[in-house]
Amino acid sequence: MTGMRIGEIMALTWDDIDYQRQTITVNKTWDYQSGGGFKATKNDSSNRTVNVTQQLLDWLAELKENNSNMVFENARGQIPTSAAANNTLRALLKQAKIKKPSFHFHSLRHTHVAYLLSKGIDIFVISKRLGHSDLSTTTDTYAYLIHEYQQTQISEIKKNLALLAE
């Protein structure tokens, strides 16, 4: 629901969640490589504010009972590993009878982009939401999706030009 990277999600603290403005501030990432702890985001553009739904905020509020400063923490007081997140995702996919063996947590970021594109959200807005430093990063990474939606956009252009001609 955010398009955030797993390290950005795992680094969330309750101070990053603004219930009133319905936003999440991304200003750090979780350092899996060095055994944990905060580190700077991937680049300056990765520091961003992501607008979210009330539903997501309600789900996050349920986690607040963990009495931790961290939003995501397991029962042992540790930040879940990337492998643990992927194992949980695979278990949920299996439970839902979805057979996507190569689907992993980062695939959710791609799914987020695909969904937004299918709803006609501008690629520039998506790029900023993802924290890409350059629009070309987004268009290069998601070129396969953009091509899929090109036909939809061409149909919209024709329809609108036909209305203009009337």
Q: What is the pTM of this model?
A: 0.85
The pLDDT of residue 34 is: 86
| pLDDT exceeds 90 at position 135 | yes
State both tokens at 27.
């200003």
* Coil/strand/helix, residue 30: strand
Give the chain's end-to-end CA distance (angstroms, integer): 40
- 117-139: average pLDDT: 93
The pLDDT of residue 159 is: 87
State how far the Cα of 110 lies from the Cα of 10, in Å rounded to an integer: 18
